[in-house]
Structure 1
Amino acid sequence: MAHDRDAAPAPAPEAVTVVGLGLMGQALAGAFLRAGHPTTVWNRTAAKAEPFAAQGARLAGSIGDAVAAAPLVVVCVSDYGAVRELLDPLGAALDGRVLVNLTSGTSAQARETAEWARHHGADYLDGAILAAPQAIGTADADILYSGPRSAFDPHEPALRALGAGTAHLGEDHGLSSLHDAAVLGLMWGVLNTFLHGAALLRTAGVDAAAFAPLATKGIGTVTGWLAGYAQQVDDGAYPADDSTIDTHLAAMEHLVHESEALGVSAEIPRFFTILAERAVADGHGGSGYAAMIEQFRTSAQEVRA
């Protein structure tokens, strides 16, 4: 058909450079290569780059050569200090490049690095990877970016090669690191409380494998509460639709006593109890559980004062 012959050809995949070939950096480079992007790789230990030559990657002889090879430079190294150590000597070579930093760090480090990149003439995007290396390039990989939309939009097709869950959060460079920290805290909270529960049940000869299905169901129940709790937090109103913090506190105390009686560490439930006691002291004993947000908005210094 005529309109098929007249259709504009698809744009060629964008060239990209990947700096840092640890487990995650290797996954990033592999995803770009599988998606057809001309990919240059560089690593401080050159031997880690060599296997990518067989996959079609260009091996840069130096960090300067790597940065010069593509307008989009993706960095994933040990920490933000290593980013600056590697790239600072390049000076004007960064001018005009879009630097995407997928190194883990804090929101303050992200904002400081954005200012450093600006002084070198580079557009800067800070990113957070919410996935294991094995998931990179699949529908299971969520990767968050923050920084100028003008830097993100032209390169979004290339960045989507790293994961279907690619999202731009906003202009504030610190947003991706903040979201990463929030999700990590959620992960550790779930894992540690599961392990505490497994330790309790083990005292009665119950295997963790037998507990896992019930725990999974319980986590699913709590997941269903999140949207409603989030709205209460945003509204600043905490109705006791199901039970009050007073009721929760009594149950927490039972968990502390049960743990101590069975010789299981009570540190986690004791911490819950401390927070709930503070909420009650602040007048929230009759409020719904979402009122506990006020305890997390209070710094340790303010509590001690």
Structure 2
Amino acid sequence: MKWIDALNDFQSYLKIERGLSANSVANYTYDIKKLILFLENHSIQASPITIKHTTLQEFIYEVSKTLNARSQARIISGLRSFFGYLIFEDYIKINPLDHIESPKTGRKLPDTLSLEDINNLISAIDLTKEYNGVRIGERDRTILETLYSCGLRVSELTALKISDLFFDEGFIKVNGKGDKQRFVPIGPSTQNYITLYKDEVRTAINVKKEFQDTLFLNHQGRQLSRAMVFTIVKRLAQHIELNKTISPHTFRHSFATHLLANGADLRAIQLMLGHESITTTEIYMHVDRSHLKEVLLKYHPRK
């Protein structure tokens, strides 16, 4: 992975998934570019995936000579967020800044939605809404149902193809990070929503030749963008006055959290999410103490 590619992906994540302002994105970018320049000036061959903890220590030591403590903390925080994003996207397993002292900031995951929140968001969709004769309300409901029921990344959702649907077997084929394919189970209810959209809504769209097999389309017959899915979610949250910062990824996070809270095996959740390492799956889990107590009382031989 090249630095420029990682930086571009990170910028898109900050804009689309986290909804940060242009100024905030520019600040993150500035800090990462300082690191890239340091590597170039010292002829250090290291990619975002292979860079070592010691190299980052050297970089921070050098910038600390000309920056005050507040600016140093900002750079460390920005770099930690960048490498946290790479963990979030399953490129690396450990944040190389974990043992470098800085103000405790942590990597903030999207708020978890309750089942009531999800039901309220979906119920707020105007199913009669049309655009250029296309019933986009029906499409949007199908998108949210699929995000939540299958735990997909937004990029996996927008890339989903009709030929990836194996409803007779109860699965969909998902193309994940690094072109890794996995089969994710899909429930009858979500199958019905997809079938309704595919057979009654999508057929009204003048589909461009190169997107004939793409499932979710915009009214112009092209693949739906990640930014559009984010906009759909954001508008619905504003409509119901949901006091949480959410994105399409919040549905994936909620999918995993709700499965775990209801007794699902962590390994099974890992496979459905497409995580190479189970430690990545654990990042998504916000298990309260009451759930841990229930597990102990149910499974420990000497309660």
If each structure's strand is expressed as a fraction of its own residues, which one has the higher value?
1
The structure number with the bigger radius of gyration is: 1
Both structures adopt the same fold (TM-score exceeding 0.5): no
TM-score by length of 2: 0.28
Structure with greater contact order relative to length (CA < 8 Å, sep ≥ 6): 2
